[in-house]
Structure 1
Amino acid sequence: MSRRGNGEGSLKHDVKNRRWIWCGKFDDSDKKKYFTAKTKKAVLAKVDEYKASMDRRNNFNNMTLCEWSEIWLAAVEGTVKPKTYEYYYKFFCNYINDAMGNKLLGDIKSLDIQYFLKNLATKPALKGKPLSPATVNGVRRTINACLNYAVDNDIIRSNPAKSTKPIRNTKRQEITVLSKEQLMMLLDVAAQKDYIHITGAQYKEDIGQAYLRCCYYFALVLEAASGLRIGELFALTWSDLDLDAQVVHVKQTMVWGSADVKFVSPKTLRSKRDIDIDDCTVQKLKKWQIWQKQYAAQFESLFLNCDGLVFTNSFGKPINYTNFYQRYWRKLLLAAELPEGFTFHALRHTHASLLLMAGENIKVVSERLGHSSVSTTYNIYCHVVPNLQKHAAQKYKDLNILGDREIDVLFDS
């Protein structure tokens, strides 16, 4: 009888389960790999599959992390949201490739990745200071996703990034919000064109610039009334606004990539939501709708709002965030004398905080913001909650449940 080949298998008795099974073996360079199955054919199939996976790994033995990242990025493009892809691409270009890009895939250890993450969090980076824990952990998630894909495709045995620990954020990040008076001041300043001259430069406003200034004013009005994310705000179409019912239907968000803009589904399932707005805001939006139509009619050949967007640039195209921040938002912050560190996203925090301090139910606020859970809302705005407890106690007092009743005397004095 001829000698059996490597992995061909042999019939053995499984004493514990009282059955006969086929056992096969493959001699790997590192260790012996054993397989079992009910039939010889099934054992050989498992051995062949393992051989094929080893061949794939051997073919990629000399591939670096940088080379593999290019394959991975090309594979995941279109399967993740554009913003997620941009983050992946940015993290590899700005941080990962410089420090670890030349390492061979099979040589990367968990300790290498952990030291790399620690350096990002403690040593100066691109802007001259260490990265924030949130950014470092974003880099970690990117490496983890990239190496997971390598494991799934039998390029490496295991993912060393899984054994690393995220960077702890020991510093509590305080959010900056406006008071009612500060918000009113912001909107008052935005309604005037004087803030454009804040730098002292000579400035003569043409009709296109006047359109943009008015557009951003009405965008701020809606933002203050709804707490939308900036991408959700600038992705709104007129069909998303039911002005008669006073409801905003959030259906999509706008994401700027390196070259173009895309409209994608919102951040989470609960981000698709309906937000009621007040009648004063509705009247402002109706006025803006009329103004935009008049502007479009005046520049019919130049103003092409093909998407029917509520807020556009002077040619009817989607708002470019960079232009908005640099040419209008920064000047507006200076003119309105807003607190240092105040961002456009902080208007969303302001909307939520003002509602909570006014006594609105936190679940309602959570639904307006499109948070995945009420606990998310609570964790962000817990600094407001103590005031709500006092507000609740005052509300109970106002109910006057006890009235002027006095208990009968139980004991003689």
Structure 2
Amino acid sequence: MLEAITKESLFHEYYAQWIKVYKEGAIRPVTMNKYRMTLEWLKKLIPDTKMCDVNRINYQQLLNDYAQTHERQTTMDFHHQIKCAILDAVDEGFISRDPTRKAIIKGKPPRDKKIKYLNQFELHTMLNTLNLGPDINWDWFIMLVAKTGMRFSEALALTPKDFDFPHQTLSINKTWDYKKGTGFLPTKNRSSVRKIQLDWQTVIQFTGLVKGLPEDKPIFVKDAQKVYNATVNDILERHCKKAGIPVISVHGLRHTHASLLLFAGVSIASVARRLGHASMTTTQKTYLHIIQELENKDIDLVMRSLSELS
């Protein structure tokens, strides 16, 4: 039974009820956790603020207080998660005017995010240390992620029927809930549902590996066992150290895959589709340093070509 909301109700109580009614069961658990985290910040920053007291000035102060310990993009997300609830409150008459109008988003300067990835020689050296025997193991998992750029949860969810060996493709259409152990989950977004082209060597290898395995069961998760990201990262770390190369994570293999494609001249659009990014903008932002490096090479090439015309 929901408690009656009035203008005298605390704002964080209204927000708690709002996410329960409108968001619970309608969004992915990981997104729901973000709304719950926002609720905890509301309890911390404005514990005594009533619905009738929410106006432009104290809403802006709320954003300013949050921005003191968060980057601008994180503050923007915080703002968007609250704004929807506030607009509903305005429609219901609990708040007289939209206090989010013309809100100014601030935040700490973003940290330098240096993406860890391997060059082609380093990746080749590391792959040579893998124990790729006749049975599925985590070394095969590492190899497949390196060759496809899949996310960790996407690779865990792979079943034998996701492989289309005659067409040399791999269907990505689900993820595996390794955090809570609830089984299959939808992909991160609609763009994440995709087909990844496989090289002929990987096709031949996995044709034998998945033969006889249950069609609808994950090939890397045995008997619904608990899988930890740290476990696979530890295995990968040992291989990196054995190969004498920089240590990266499984997610770093995804970055490695993307960077090698970009350096090979594959278009940003194709890389974005292969990674399952929602848009090319995501790919451009993530791999900006690589794209800038490639642009510098292009400028050198253009200048050399022009100089030959004289």
Shorter-chain TM-score above 0.5: yes
The residue aligned with 2:53 is 107
Cα deviation, 1:10-54, whole Å, max 9, x if unaligned, reads xxxxxxxxxxxxxxxxxxxxxxxxxxxxxxxxxxxxxxxxxxxxx
> Deviation of residue 335 (structure 1)?
5.4
> Deviation of residue 251 (structure 1)?
1.7
The residue aligned with 2:141 is 219
- What is the number of equivalent residue pairs in this alignment? 298
The gaps in structure 1 that reach 5 residues or longer are 1-57, 123-129, 193-210, 294-304, 408-413
In structure 1, what is the Cα distance between the partners aligned to 2:220 and 2:53?
A: 51
Compared with structure 1, are the counterparts of its residues 220 and 335 closer, same or farther at alpha carbon in structure 2 (3 Å cutoff)?
A: closer
The question of whether the paired residues in 2 share the 8 Å contact of 1:234 and 1:319 is answered with no
Compared with structure 1, are the counterparts of its residues 386 and 65 closer, same or farther at alpha carbon in structure 2 (3 Å cutoff)?
A: closer
In structure 1, what is the Cα distance between the partners aligned to 2:180 and 2:72?
A: 25
The residue aligned with 2:84 is 145
The question of whether the paired residues in 1 share the 8 Å contact of 2:126 and 2:240 is answered with yes
Cα deviation, 1:335-358, whole Å, max 9, x if unaligned, reads 524647x44323222111101111
> Deviation of residue 152 (structure 1)?
4.0
1:252 correspondence with 2:174: yes
The residue aligned with 1:278 is 199
The question of whether the paired residues in 1 share the 8 Å contact of 2:240 and 2:246 is answered with no
The residue aligned with 2:113 is 173
- Out of 231, 240, 243, the position equivalent to 1:336 is 240
- Out of 81, 84, 90, the position equivalent to 2:37 is 90
Compared with structure 1, are the counterparts of its residues 348 and 328 closer, same or farther at alpha carbon in structure 2 (3 Å cutoff)?
A: closer
Compared with structure 1, are the counterparts of its residues 334 and 96 closer, same or farther at alpha carbon in structure 2 (3 Å cutoff)?
A: farther
The residue aligned with 2:131 is 191
SS state at 1:384 partner: helix
Amino acid at match of 2:219: V
> Deviation of residue 269 (structure 1)?
3.1
1:234 correspondence with 2:156: yes
- Out of 363, 366, 374, the position equivalent to 2:272 is 366
Amino acid at match of 1:332: L
Compared with structure 1, are the counterparts of its residues 259 and 230 closer, same or farther at alpha carbon in structure 2 (3 Å cutoff)?
A: closer
Q: Percent identity?
A: 24
1:352 correspondence with 2:258: yes
Compared with structure 1, are the counterparts of its residues 98 and 239 closer, same or farther at alpha carbon in structure 2 (3 Å cutoff)?
A: same
> Deviation of residue 184 (structure 1)?
3.0
The question of whether the paired residues in 2 share the 8 Å contact of 1:120 and 1:131 is answered with yes
Which has the larger share of strand? 1
The residue aligned with 2:28 is 81
Compared with structure 1, are the counterparts of its residues 284 and 102 closer, same or farther at alpha carbon in structure 2 (3 Å cutoff)?
A: farther
> Deviation of residue 162 (structure 1)?
4.3
Amino acid at match of 2:201: C
The question of whether the paired residues in 2 share the 8 Å contact of 1:309 and 1:318 is answered with no
Higher relative contact order (CA 8 A, sep 6+): 2
Cα deviation, 1:348-399, whole Å, max 9, x if unaligned, reads 221111011112222221221223333432333232235545369769x99x
The question of whether the paired residues in 2 share the 8 Å contact of 1:218 and 1:284 is answered with no
> Deviation of residue 65 (structure 1)?
2.1
> Deviation of residue 86 (structure 1)?
1.9
Rg: which structure is higher? 1
The question of whether the paired residues in 2 share the 8 Å contact of 1:270 and 1:372 is answered with yes
The question of whether the paired residues in 2 share the 8 Å contact of 1:218 and 1:288 is answered with no
The residue aligned with 1:32 is none
The residue aligned with 1:69 is 15
> Deviation of residue 77 (structure 1)?
0.9
> Deviation of residue 242 (structure 1)?
0.8
In structure 2, what is the Cα distance between the partners aligned to 1:368 and 1:375?
A: 14
The question of whether the paired residues in 2 share the 8 Å contact of 1:231 and 1:255 is answered with yes
The residue aligned with 2:220 is 311
In structure 1, what is the Cα distance between the partners aligned to 2:46 and 2:62?
A: 8
The question of whether the paired residues in 2 share the 8 Å contact of 1:362 and 1:378 is answered with yes
In structure 2, what is the Cα distance between the partners aligned to 1:228 and 1:241?
A: 14
SS state at 2:137 partner: helix
Q: Following superposition of structure 1 onto structure 2, how do residues 148-167 of structure 1 map, counting pairs within 5 Å?
A: 148-167=87-106
Between 346-355 and 103-112, the greater mean CA deviation after superposition: 103-112
The gaps in structure 2 that reach 5 residues or longer are none
Compared with structure 1, are the counterparts of its residues 187 and 111 closer, same or farther at alpha carbon in structure 2 (3 Å cutoff)?
A: farther
The question of whether the paired residues in 2 share the 8 Å contact of 1:221 and 1:281 is answered with no
Compared with structure 1, are the counterparts of its residues 175 and 275 closer, same or farther at alpha carbon in structure 2 (3 Å cutoff)?
A: same
- Out of 135, 138, 146, the position equivalent to 2:74 is 135
Calculate the aligned-residue CA RMSD, in Å: 3.6
> Deviation of residue 177 (structure 1)?
1.6
In structure 2, what is the Cα distance between the partners aligned to 1:319 and 1:391?
A: 47
1:376 correspondence with 2:282: yes
Cα deviation, 1:248-283, whole Å, max 9, x if unaligned, reads 11222345676745512x333332221101122223
Compared with structure 1, are the counterparts of its residues 217 and 102 closer, same or farther at alpha carbon in structure 2 (3 Å cutoff)?
A: farther
The residue aligned with 2:190 is 269
Compared with structure 1, are the counterparts of its residues 153 and 233 closer, same or farther at alpha carbon in structure 2 (3 Å cutoff)?
A: farther
